[in-house]
Amino acid sequence: MRGLKLMETTIRTPSRAPFVRAMFGRIASRYDLMNALMTGGRHRAWRRLAVRQARPAGGRALDICCGTGDFALELARQGASAVVGVDFSGEMVALAARKAQAAGLSGRVQWQLADALELPFPDDAFLCATSGFSLRNVDDVGRALREMTRVLAPGGRVAVLELTPVRSRLFGPVFRAYFRGLVPLVGGLVAGDRAAYTYLPDSVRAFPTADKLADLMTQAGLVEVRYRLLALGTVALHLGVKP
């Protein structure tokens, strides 16, 4: 990773953090492939939409729980002057750095090992902050949202793209059968880790509904909070503005 800056900070370890960090470390090399298989490749369009709504052009952008870096790289592609991607999985951050180098974006994206619940940045440091398919893995969703809000400059936007509990009585049972049955099976075959892809539907089931997540964003200090359901109600894109 020559030429790439990777900074490390002291990482807080709440009760679920060691489990989540170890799990993502195990599946890092197959993470992108599994995302493409599970969404039929639609995650790319959802990510582009989320970043457009975040409006990163001309400012500094932050992506929390950045994983293998796709959101951070999209922020750079859509005009952010500088991007910081943070995650507490070293394996994920290493992959993200290699992807940035391959895409010719390593000069505009910085990767940092850090905890989303204790961001190592001053107040008002970023124009926008994003989180993609990762907020349900933190130990305290409200605290993560408060940290994202804290580091935003006034007028900055938070965009959260996340799987959401399905409310449809007709489609819900079909999706749950796919998500709880087929996804762990494919995860075992492709990623060699059925347990990690059994955790995935469990984490969605325990995650706040779209309405509740909007309430948490408001409680974190954001205004103009709204959301849009995608993919037959299985994915939600939430937006909020720091006053």
- Per residue in 69-118, pLDDT (tens digit) is 999 999 999 999 999 999 999 999 999 999 999 999 999 999 999 999 99
How far is the C-alpha of 49 from the C-alpha of 217, rounded, in Å? 19
Average pLDDT along the chain: 92
Write out the DSSP string of 85-108.
EEES-HHHHHHHHHHHHHTT-TTT
3-state helix, strand, coil in the chain (%, to 5): 45, 20, 30
Could you tell me the pTM of the whole model? 0.90
Spell out the residues 6+ positions from residue 218 whose beta carbon is closer than 8 angstroms to its own.
225, 240
Q: Does residue 12 carry a pLDDT above 50? A: no
Q: What is the CATH number of domain 6-16+39-166+208-241?
A: 3.40.50.150
Locate the domains of the chain by residue range.
6-16+39-166+208-241
Q: 80: which 2 tokens?
A: 């952010």
Residues 165/146/61/228 CA torsion (nearest 10 deg): 30
